[in-house]
Amino acid sequence: MKTIIVNVPDKKEELFLSLMRELKLKTFDMSSEELEDKILARWIEEGMKTDDVPLEKVFEHFRKHVIKA
């Protein structure tokens, strides 16, 4: 089995969900904020298992991967 993540426009959400139900596919609805929270939680959990990391390295990582201006 494979997992596919699809970003669906708000106005088309019901169309996609009904199509997935018609095809008897399992769906999991998650907002962008929920996805970001899960990713941050995973990073924190991984970080708890490692040695100390310099603060500048943390900021550099956030600038590259999280903060989008």
Q: In Å, how far are 9, 17, 26, 29, 40 from 12, measured between CA atoms? A: 5, 9, 18, 13, 28
d(CA 7, CA 60): 27
CB 17 within 8 A of CB 27: yes
d(CA 49, CA 42): 11
Question: Band of the pLDDT at 45, cuts 50, 70, 90?
Answer: confident
Q: Could you tell me what percent of the chain has a pLDDT over 90?
A: 9
Question: Band of the pLDDT at 22, cuts 50, 70, 90?
Answer: very high
User: pTM of the prediction?
Assistant: 0.45
Q: What are the φ and ψ backbone dihedral angles of 30, each rounded to 5 degrees?
A: -140, 130
Is residue 52 pLDDT above 90, yes or no?
no
Q: Write the single-letter amino acid at 64.
A: K
